[in-house]
Amino acid sequence: MAIDHDRLFKELLQTFFEEFVLLFFPDMHEHIDFNHLSFLSEELFTDVTAGEKYRVDLLVETKFKGKDGLIIVHVENQAYVQSSFPERMFLYFRRLFEKYRTPIIPIAVFSYDAIRDEPSLFTLSFPFGDVLDFRFFHVELRKQNWRQFIRTDNPVAAALLSKMGYTESERVELKKQFLRMLVRLELDEARQRLLMGFFETYVKLSDEEEQQLRSEVEQMETKEKERVLELIISYEQKGKIQGRKEGREEGRKEGAEQEKRHIAKRMLMKGFDAQTIHELTGLPVTEIEEMKQSGFK
């Protein structure tokens, strides 16, 4: 199943928006009134020239030192290089400014796995002078050293460890430090589940790595060890319960499909045509025809 990166990041940043700004843009944080935050509906833009549609992931209405303003947050997870990205950010900014006529802070979050230098400037100039210099704030997650964030009590930092610059050999240590952060944060169950789900979407340990993690957790100081183990066991149990629920649901669906096939066979034996059986059972006409050709087996 494909990962819905946009949904994951949107849910994380909407839930912990102030923590996101504080983590990566502390100077900006001082100028935003977080008591006045409103997440507006997505803005969809059509690039007529390229024939493509784009949308801003988050559009936040707020106040800057008492004055109304907007913050654009766009998460870019495409693995391939997009030389036109700064231009696209400018178009987002320009169209939103034209619509709202208010100060706008543009932010781009690069979340792909590769490490590369992303420009944060769109210019338009001529030999005889510059016309435009558009800059946007940006974060390149893969360039961040995850170890620099493990002492922070910031839920966004905990979740985004999974997208930072770790090596394969650091995966077990990465999850151990994530769990330690999660314990320290003492969040309610819903927010804790959000962070755990985000992290494990991008860092899924093998059985061998999970065993190594358990072994290392056992070496922790007693009180911390108990809380981390409790967290691990809790989510393992929830995972098993969810797995059983999904299994039962799958079983019910399969049972319903089998019942439809039994009904279709009985109808064929009574002379009903394939189209009528399709309309009454929902089975594909091709499948009904195959039953008929195989003697209703």
Question: For the chain (length 297 residues), average pLDDT per consecutive 10?
Answer: 82 96 96 92 63 75 90 81 82 91 94 86 94 95 95 96 95 95 92 93 92 90 86 69 48 72 80 81 84 72
pLDDT value at residue 146: 96
pTM of the shown model: 0.75
pLDDT value at residue 49: 55
Going along 121-272, which residue ranges are E strands? 121-126, 129-135, 137-140
pLDDT value at residue 269: 81
| Residue 177: strand pairing partners | none
Sign (positive or negative) of CA dihedral 174, 180, 181, 187? positive
- What is the C-alpha separation between 253 and 282, in angstroms, rounded? 13
pLDDT value at residue 80: 56
CB neighbour burial string for 64-96, b if at least 16 within 10 angstroms, e if fewer = beeeebbbbbbbbbeeeeeeebbebbbbbbeeb
Q: Give the count of beta carbons closer than 10 Å to the beta carbon of residue 36.
A: 13
Q: What is the pLDDT of residues 153-204, one digit of tens each?
A: 999 999 999 999 999 999 999 999 999 999 999 999 899 999 999 999 999 9
- What is the C-alpha separation between 166 and 147, in angstroms, rounded? 9
Quick one: DSSP state of residue 49? T
pLDDT value at residue 220: 86
Asked if 79 and 114 touch (Cβ cutoff 8 Å), the reply is yes
pLDDT value at residue 213: 92
**How many Å is the Cα radius of gyration of the chain?**
26
pLDDT value at residue 121: 94
pLDDT value at residue 249: 56
Domain-wise residue ranges, the chain? 1-143, 240-294
**The amino acid at 138:** H
Q: DSSP letters of 113-132?
A: SS--PPP-EEEEEETTEEEE
Question: Residues near 70 by Cβ (< 8 Å), separated by ≥ 6?
Answer: 40, 59, 60, 61, 62, 96, 100, 102, 103, 104, 105
Question: Which strands, in side-by-side order, build the sheet including 104-110?
Answer: 32-39, 58-64, 67-76, 104-110, 137-140
- What is the C-alpha separation between 146 and 166, in angstroms, rounded? 7
pLDDT value at residue 208: 93
